[in-house]
């Protein structure tokens, strides 16, 4: 087994991972720091992992096949993420693998709805227990490092509002509106009307109740609808944390629809997880257990899909460690509720989610993942000449999100 580890780890100096078998023998992968140890339940688990590392490392953890020897799963996955990137780098140029991955991303409306329901139609109470009070299931924006998760999510919404350059009375389309947090924020704080679309019936039901409870029925309309089926024109189009589910074959359609739905003097904003490396095939464990049909795009893939549509990219911002901070807080809250989750859904579910949250934090902290913010218009002169308008303290500071309670009285547009 050590010979196979030496072969796989040849040239990998991003860290050392020791596999300890039940009889105390040790097999080592890689060189250098950090140094982490995995305690195997059975010797055959290592053989299973080495057959398909990117898939089986997570699966065997879910099945109690191994534990972090010192309880530090994040350190184990730091080495794991770096090693996975090394394997992906070796696979570059293997076009068949990329084409096969794209076949799994052929998301017609029916497939898209099925894929979304796989992850988002869990009982909303489960998400309430580890998300912030606004139920934002996307990267927060830590404008100040001491922010709470609630404050950072509100800061994210405020920055999005500024990038859309909103004015009271504008019509906004929110593609992938989730539990309605962004729609509520924009309606309350900026006096706009919002049409939100989602493919999750569970999210829609929760969002509609929240909108009704806040008295925002006249400003927010929510629909169970695919973005390809939306009609009308909007002053702003925004999509947060949904593009990862679109799939590469649908990119031209997605941006074509944004162009069609956006008024000639409108502004659009895409918030998506992205990779800071060339295009790849994605992680098979994430695709199987978390986001079937999903894909994390490289910037080159996104720009290539936008360019033929007539949309103009007026700003591109890369958020580097914000999602690592978000995921760390989600996992802290998840672990605080672990007894509840275990009683409701079992230990295997908890181990799946623990691995998901920690592996994703490691990917944003030490891997190639980031968040892209792409601002788009149809007119070159639609927005101010500089980016100063995004951070002007005189218009309400992004680091003062806590000054706006989430259940603040809404601004109603008649």
Return d(Cα 246, Cα 297) in angstroms, integer.
10
Strand pairing report for 66-68 and 35-40: antiparallel
Count of helices and strands (H, E) across the chain: 16, 11
Considering only CA atoms, which of 142, 183, 134, 129 is closest in space to residue 161? Answer: 183
Largest CA-CA distance found in the chain, in angstroms, rounded? 73
Return d(Cα 414, Cα 48) in angstroms, integer.
63
Q: Pick the catalytic residue: 27, 177, 350, 360?
A: 360
Q: Is 316 a catalytic residue?
A: no
The total number of residues written for the chain in this structure: 414
Phi then psi for 287, rounded to 5 degrees? -65, -40
Residues 6+ apart with CB under 8 A from 224: 197, 198, 199, 201, 204
Q: What are the distances in angstroms from CA 392 to CA 147, 153, 386, 388, 389?
A: 19, 19, 11, 6, 5
Q: Which residues are catalytic?
A: 360
């Amino acid at each position: 087994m050590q010979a196979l580890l030496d072969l796989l780890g040849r040239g990998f100096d991003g860290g050392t991972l020791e596999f300890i078998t039940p009889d105390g023998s040790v097999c080592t992968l890689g060189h250098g720091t950090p140094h982490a140890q995995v305690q195997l339940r059975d010797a055959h688990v290592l053989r299973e992992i080495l057959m398909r590392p990117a898939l089986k490392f997570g699966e065997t953890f879910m099945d109690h096949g191994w534990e972090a020897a010192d309880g530090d799963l994040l350190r184990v996955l730091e080495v794991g993420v770096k090693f996975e990137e090394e394997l992906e780098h070796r696979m570059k140029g293997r076009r068949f693998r990329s084409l096969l991955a794209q076949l799994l991303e052929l998301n017609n409306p029916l497939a898209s709805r099925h894929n979304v329901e796989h992850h988002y139609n869990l009982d909303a109470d489960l998400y309430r227990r580890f998300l912030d009070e606004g139920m934002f299931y996307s990267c927060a924006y830590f404008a100040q490092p001491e922010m709470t998760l609630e404050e950072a999510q509100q800061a994210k919404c405020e920055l999005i509002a500024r990038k859309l350059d909103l004015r009271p009375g504008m019509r906004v389309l929110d593609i992938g509106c989730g539990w309605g947090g962004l729609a509520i924020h924009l309606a309350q704080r900026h006096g706009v009307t919002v049409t939100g679309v989602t493919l999750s019936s569970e999210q829609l039901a929760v969002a509609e109740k929240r909108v009704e409870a806040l008295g925002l029925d006249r400003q927010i309309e929510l629909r169970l609808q695919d973005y390809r089926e939306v009609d009308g024109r909007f002053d702003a189009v925004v999509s947060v944390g949904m593009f990862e589910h679109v799939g590469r074959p649908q990119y031209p359609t997605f941006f074509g629809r944004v162009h069609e739905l956006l008024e000639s003097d409108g502004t659009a904003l895409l918030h998506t997880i992205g990779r800071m490396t060339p295009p790849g095939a994605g992680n098979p464990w994430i695709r199987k257990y978390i986001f079937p049909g999903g894909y994390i795009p490289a910037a080159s893939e996104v720009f290539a899909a936008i360019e033929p549509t007539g949309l103009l990219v007026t700003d591109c911002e890369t958020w580097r460690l914000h999602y690592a901070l978000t995921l760390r807080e989600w996992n802290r809250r998840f672990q605080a509720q672990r007894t509840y989750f275990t009683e409701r859904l079992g230990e295997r579910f908890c181990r799946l989610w623990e691995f998901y949250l920690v592996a994703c934090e490691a990917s944003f902290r030490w891997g190639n993942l980031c968040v892209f913010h792409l601002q788009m218009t149809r007119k070159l002169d639609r927005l101010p000449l500089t980016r100063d308008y995004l951070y002007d303290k005189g218009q309400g500071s992004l680091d003062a999100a806590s000054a706006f309670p989430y259940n603040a009285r809404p601004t109603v547009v008649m």
